[in-house]
Structure 1
C-alpha cells in the first residue's frame, strides 16, 4: 500500500496479537515520514475544554463561550494545526482531492472505538461550497467511520471562514438551521458534532447552540485538528 499523501510505501506489519487474537485490523493510509510531521495533542498541556495547545488551563476562547453564551465547551481533537495539516486541507478541500479523506482513517477510527455517542452528526457544507467542490469534505472525512445523521443545514456565508481574521470569525452570525428530523431524537441522547478544523470554535458553537435550543443537554464536539 502507498501513502495517500506522498505516495511512499506503507509498512503494515501485523503484530502477533492481531494475527492470533483476531483483533480488528484498522487500515493505515499514511506513511511514517508523513506521520512524523504531525503534532498529536494527547498528553500535552492543552485546554481541558477544547484541547488548545499550551493553554495553561482553560483558554480565553472557552472562557468567552462560557461568559457570553453560557456554553461549557466539551471538545476533543487529534492534532495541532501546523504546516502539514495546512497543506493537507489545501489539497483536500481547495483542490478537491477527495481520496485524501481517508488519510487519517486509522487515527479517527481508533478515537471512535474509545468514545461512544448516541447520535453523531456533522458540520455540513453550504450549498455554494458543495457546488464548487462537488463533495462535502467533513462528511467524506468521517462517513466510513461513524453512522452519520445530517441534522443541520448551513446557509452560504458572506465569505469563507478561511478568509476571515480572528475577530471576523468570532462575529460570524448564525448560519445553521435544524432539519425536522432533529425533533425525533430523544432529548437525553448524547450528541457528537464533527468538524474538520477547530480555530476559534465559532462554527461548532453555532451548531452547539442549535442543539441546545432544541432541548439537548449532553453535547460534545470533535475535530481532526485544533
Structure 2
C-alpha cells in the first residue's frame, strides 16, 4: 500500500467524503499534487479533444479546431483517425510529471493514472487496444514503453502488433518536421486477417500534432481495420 505521494513524497492523508464512505478510489498523489492534474472539461474539439473554450473563434471550424479541419480536408488523411479523446490538459505539472516518468525511468508513477484510464474503458468497447510502440533503440534507452505501462497499470491488456523504426525524438522535432515525416510503423507479423472489420483504439501518452497517431491509424486501416480511434493521457 502506497502511503506517500508518488510525486512529492508527502504523506498521503485520506480526505473523507460521503462518496468515500461507499466507494474508495486508490490514492497515489497528495491533494496538492492531484489538484494540479486538470481534466479536460467543457466544450472540446470532436477530432482531437482540444478545449474549444480556450481557442480564438478563428481557430474553430464548426465542432473541430482548425488543425483537425486541415487534416480532414487533406484527401490522404481524411477519415483515417476517427477521433482522439484525451483525459488531461498538458499543463506544466503534467509535463514535469511525465518527464520524470518517461525519461528518468520512474515506472511506478504510472499508477497515478490507473483509475482514470480504467474508468474510461468501462464506458467504451474496442476489438483491439494498441499502444504506440517505441523503436528498439528508444526502448533500450528508457527500459520500458510508457504507453504500454500505463495500460498495464490500469489492468488493460494491450495488443502489441505494431513496431516502430528508429527516428529522432518527437520532442526535438518542429511541428513542420513532424507533419512531414515518413511512415515509421510496421505490423510485427501478418495480422491482416485479425484486423479485418475490427474497431481499434490506439493509446499514447500525449497528442501533439496528431501525426504519430494518424500514421499508425493509416497502416491499420490499410491492413483492414474498419475504424481507428485513439486515447491519450494528455492533449498537448
TM-score, normalised to structure 2, is: 0.85
How many angstroms apart in 2 are the aligned matches of 1:186 and 1:133? Answer: 30
The 1:19–1:153 alpha-carbon spacing in structure 2 relative to 1, beyond 3 Å, is: same
Shift in Å at residue 15 of structure 1? 6.6
Shift in Å at residue 45 of structure 1? 2.3
Unaligned runs of 5+ in 2: none
Shift in Å at residue 120 of structure 1? 0.8
The count of aligned residue pairs is: 221
Structure 1 residue aligned with 2:64: 58
Deviations along 1:67-119, one digit per CA (max 9) or x if unpaired, are: 22112541101111110111011111121111112121121112122222221
Shift in Å at residue 34 of structure 1? 0.9
Q: Secondary structure at the match of 2:122?
A: helix
How many angstroms apart in 1 are the aligned matches of 2:134 and 2:15? Answer: 37
Structure 2 residue aligned with 1:45: 43
The 1:152–1:14 alpha-carbon spacing in structure 2 relative to 1, beyond 3 Å, is: farther
How many angstroms apart in 1 are the aligned matches of 2:115 and 2:70? Answer: 34
Counterparts of 1:1-226 in structure 2, within 5 Å, are 1-12=3-14, 26-42=25-41, 44-54=42-52, 55=55, 56=60, 57-68=63-74, 69-71=77-79, 73-145=82-154, 146-157=156-167, 159-180=168-189, 182-226=191-235
Shift in Å at residue 181 of structure 1? 5.1
How many angstroms apart in 2 are the aligned matches of 1:108 and 1:99? Answer: 15
The 1:113–1:181 alpha-carbon spacing in structure 2 relative to 1, beyond 3 Å, is: farther
Deviations along 1:43-87, one digit per CA (max 9) or x if unpaired, are: x22111111122443112212221221125411011111101110
How many angstroms apart in 2 are the aligned matches of 1:188 and 1:169? Answer: 29
Shift in Å at residue 10 of structure 1? 2.8
Shift in Å at residue 28 of structure 1? 2.6
- Contact 1:29–1:106 (CA under 8 A) maintained in structure 2: no
Q: CA RMSD in A?
A: 2.0
- Contact 1:3–1:9 (CA under 8 A) maintained in structure 2: yes
TM-score, normalised to structure 1, is: 0.89
How many angstroms apart in 2 are the aligned matches of 1:219 and 1:181? Answer: 18
Q: Secondary structure at the match of 1:130?
A: helix
Instruction: List 4+ stretches of structure 1 deviating above 3 A.
Output: 11-20
Q: Secondary structure at the match of 1:101?
A: helix
How many angstroms apart in 1 are the aligned matches of 2:5 and 2:17? Answer: 20
Unaligned runs of 5+ in 1: none
